[in-house]
Chains A and B, each alone.
Chain A
């Protein structure tokens, strides 16, 4: 095989791993709470600023900055639920979407006021590794492995714990849950905190690859939502697989044409999928 194509495919898979975390987080929250967090990419942006600030400004070791980023963004997810989503739980979906969309602009504006519009770089770069005939970015590889480990951890949480099993149950039938002693409001809180935590994790993996600025969410937010819809909104496994598919399409699209066209290819593919399988690629 053409080593450049192989490199594009490998890079696509690595890219998919990074998409996978926010996709899982969004799907988790949507599946449980039935609300789309339109500001999800902006939660990731806040996490990226958090790491950048603690590491470069406050002088914390990077690993400590990462460790602090998770609870900070998880707490942000909790606050988002308590202050914005919970009061609107019975409202029409459009109201909820507009409200979380409003939070998107508040977070963007807040970041701009606090940090300005400069691109902030962590200044961390690992040397590329040579694997066989191709070069792989060390940073991307580490981020990819961390994303996979996190996804496996999330899977184990949902599969083996009581709360995780209740989370999977509530996605199908909320009304019946109290009969088993499950307080749905508590499960919403857990899902929102875990959803926020996944945004924090994604922030750690992205901030080592991309410079952070107030509008960074726009560069991966839309694609994240697209992947969620393509995998079937609320379907964790579908979203996870679609993340890799989309990563490879974008990456190889850049190989066949050019980087600018790669997102066009991805969106065309998305539209075709939506016509062929409106409920998502992996809908049962």
Chain B
């Protein structure tokens, strides 16, 4: 599928009376890898939930290509090319690895290409091929993260949304996960990645937004952000 631009403007969103996002704007062009960084509770997960339709914004526009995200039912968005790897992975622990991947290929376009996509995912994550008949809940955290990313890739997305892929993983596994992100984007897939692990994520994305208390407080190229003294002192431990 051809690329499509994700663009958010003036997004306000929250839960009940609690407002998590204030006039947030963001743009991701086809083929780009973009990061959203910021402290815990900055609204990063809320932002991804808006993009995948899990949360309706209270104001603002959100478009992906010609699709109006804010008015399209969430379950229609995967067919438009949006795949979201949610916070905490949210695998189906009582299903096998292959069954998890199969649910990822639920949309009609993905069912038609099931064998091809399965081979692609197993190629990218040989570990999943070895464990295809194992229950997903019995795997290690890193393997589960791979399964969650694989499940999202089964639908042949145009944009991959990753929510804290490094959360709760050992440093060595974190490095593996980021290497995979690099590989996925090298294949031309658009990636939007939310992370608290700022130092690592700036190495794999082209640009990033800094989110704090629901506001975009800075944006720029990874190199510029990594050398910005304020960002360094706030997120990179000042060295």
User: Which positions in A face B, CB cutoff 8 Å?
Assistant: 162, 165-166, 168-169, 172-173, 175-184
26 A-B pairs in the complex with CB atoms less than 8 angstroms apart = A162-B102, A162-B103, A165-B99, A165-B102, A165-B103, A166-B103, A168-B95, A168-B99, A169-B99, A169-B103, A178-B52, A178-B74, A178-B78, A179-B83, A179-B84, A179-B86, A180-B78, A180-B103, A180-B104, A180-B106, A180-B107, A180-B155, A181-B75, A181-B76, A181-B106, A182-B103
Given contacts A168-B95, A181-B107, are A176 and B102 in contact (CB under 8 A)? no
Contact check: which of B90, B106, B107, B111 meets A176 at CB < 8 Å?
B90
Tell whether B92 is near chain A: CB-to-CB under 8 Å.
yes
Contact check: which of A162, A168, A173, A183 meets B75 at CB < 8 Å?
A183
Contact check: which of A173, A178, A184 meets B53 at CB < 8 Å?
A178
CB distance from A179 to the nearest CB of B (A): 5
The residues of A that contact B110 with a CB separation of less than 8 Å are 181
Decide: B95 and A165 in contact? CB cutoff 8 A: yes
The residues of A that contact B155 with a CB separation of less than 8 Å are 180-181
Contact check: which of A168, A173, A175, A182 meets B106 at CB < 8 Å?
A182
The residues of B that contact A166 with a CB separation of less than 8 Å are 103, 106
The residues of A that contact B111 with a CB separation of less than 8 Å are 162
The residues of A that contact B75 with a CB separation of less than 8 Å are 177-178, 181-184
In the A-B complex, the 8 residue pairs with the closest CB atoms = A181-B78, A178-B74, A181-B107, A178-B75, A183-B75, A176-B90, A169-B92, A179-B84
Decide: B102 and A179 in contact? CB cutoff 8 A: no
The residues of B that contact A162 with a CB separation of less than 8 Å are 102-103, 105-106, 111
Query: Which of B45-90 touch A at CB < 8 Å?
Result: 52-54, 73-79, 83-84, 86, 90
A180 to B53, CA, bound (A): 12
Decide: A176 and B86 in contact? CB cutoff 8 A: yes
The residues of B that contact A180 with a CB separation of less than 8 Å are 78, 103-104, 106-107, 151, 155
Tell whether B220 is near chain A: CB-to-CB under 8 Å.
no
Nearest residue, chain B, Cβ from A160: B102
Contact check: which of B74, B76, B94, B104 meets A172 at CB < 8 Å?
B94
The residues of B that contact A168 with a CB separation of less than 8 Å are 92, 94-95, 99
The residues of A that contact B78 with a CB separation of less than 8 Å are 178-181
A182 to B90, CA, bound (A): 15
CB distance from B94 to the nearest CB of A (A): 6
The residues of B that contact A172 with a CB separation of less than 8 Å are 92-94
Decide: A179 and B52 in contact? CB cutoff 8 A: yes
CB distance from B227 to the nearest CB of A (A): 36
The residues of B that contact A175 with a CB separation of less than 8 Å are 54
Interface centre among B103, B105, B152 (most CB of A within 10 A): B103
Interface centre among B86, B102, B151 (most CB of A within 10 A): B102
A183 to B110, CA, bound (A): 16
Nearest residue, chain A, Cβ from B102: A165
The residues of A that contact B92 with a CB separation of less than 8 Å are 168-169, 172-173
A183 to B151, CA, bound (A): 17
Nearest residue, chain B, Cβ from A186: B75
Contact check: which of B73, B93, B95 meets A178 at CB < 8 Å?
B73
A49 to B87, CA, bound (A): 51
Decide: A178 and B54 in contact? CB cutoff 8 A: yes
A183 to B74, CA, bound (A): 8
| Besides the known contacts A169-B92, A172-B93, 11 further A-B residue pairs in the complex with CB atoms under 8 A apart | A165-B95, A165-B102, A165-B103, A168-B94, A169-B95, A169-B99, A176-B90, A178-B73, A178-B74, A179-B90, A183-B75
CB distance from B133 to the nearest CB of A (A): 12
Query: Which of B3-58 touch A at CB < 8 Å?
Result: 52-54
The residues of B that contact A173 with a CB separation of less than 8 Å are 90, 92
A175 to B53, CA, bound (A): 11
A173 to B105, CA, bound (A): 17
Nearest residue, chain B, Cβ from A171: B94
Nearest residue, chain A, Cβ from B109: A181
Decide: A181 and B54 in contact? CB cutoff 8 A: no
Nearest residue, chain A, Cβ from B114: A162
The residues of B that contact A177 with a CB separation of less than 8 Å are 75
Instruction: Mark interface residues in B104-120 (1 if CB within 8 Å of A CB, else 0).
Output: 11110011000000000
CB distance from A188 to the nearest CB of B (A): 13
A180 to B110, CA, bound (A): 10
A168 to B93, CA, bound (A): 11
The residues of B that contact A165 with a CB separation of less than 8 Å are 95, 99, 102-103
A183 to B54, CA, bound (A): 12
The residues of B that contact A169 with a CB separation of less than 8 Å are 92, 95, 99-100, 103
CB distance from B163 to the nearest CB of A (A): 11
A172 to B99, CA, bound (A): 14
CB distance from A255 to the nearest CB of B (A): 38
